Amino acid sequence: MFFGLFNVSVPFAPLMKSILLLSLILSPLLALRAAESPQTNTEIWADFDPRKDALETEVIREWKEDGGVFRHVRYLIGKFKGKPARMAAIYGFPRAPKRSYPQ
């Protein structure tokens, strides 16, 4: 059928192979180029609403070490292809400030 073209021994068969291969490689690239991509930061974030979804935070672990408190947390950052995407982080802060600050 279609692949029988590659077995034909005519002078233009190598040219046909090259054209077919080139079209298979370039067609996805042309489709990507045809889509409008955002050009500015404002365009990139235009449809993003950070308050749309709850963060759904959870503290996985908390510990105290060397005068600080550390937390391993996980939170929802949005949905990717219909499934929840989560971010994990470890952050720390001093257990007690060394000096008092004016209020």
In percent, the amount of the chain with pLDDT more than 90 equals 27
Q: Which residues pair with 86 in a beta bridge?
A: 76
Tell me how far CA of residue 54 lies from CA of 35, 50, 76, 78, in angstroms. 31, 9, 7, 9
Instruction: For residues 28 and 34, give the distance between their C-alpha atoms in angstroms, rounded to a whole number.
Output: 10
Between 61 and 16, the higher pLDDT residue = 61
Mean pLDDT of all residues in 30-50:
79
Segments in 1-103 forming alpha helices (H): 13-34, 41-44
Q: Number of helices (H) and strands (E), helices first, in the chain? A: 2, 3
State the pLDDT at residue 1: 47
Please tell me the pTM assigned to this model.
Answer: 0.48
Instruction: For residues 8 and 76, give the distance between their C-alpha atoms in angstroms, rounded to a whole number.
Output: 57
- The mean predicted confidence, pLDDT, of the chain is 80
pLDDT per position as a tens digit, 44-92: 888 888 888 788 999 999 999 988 999 999 999 888 888 989 999 999 9
Ranges of each domain in the chain: 10-94
Q: What is the dihedral of CA 43, 49, 53, 54, to 10 degrees?
A: 120
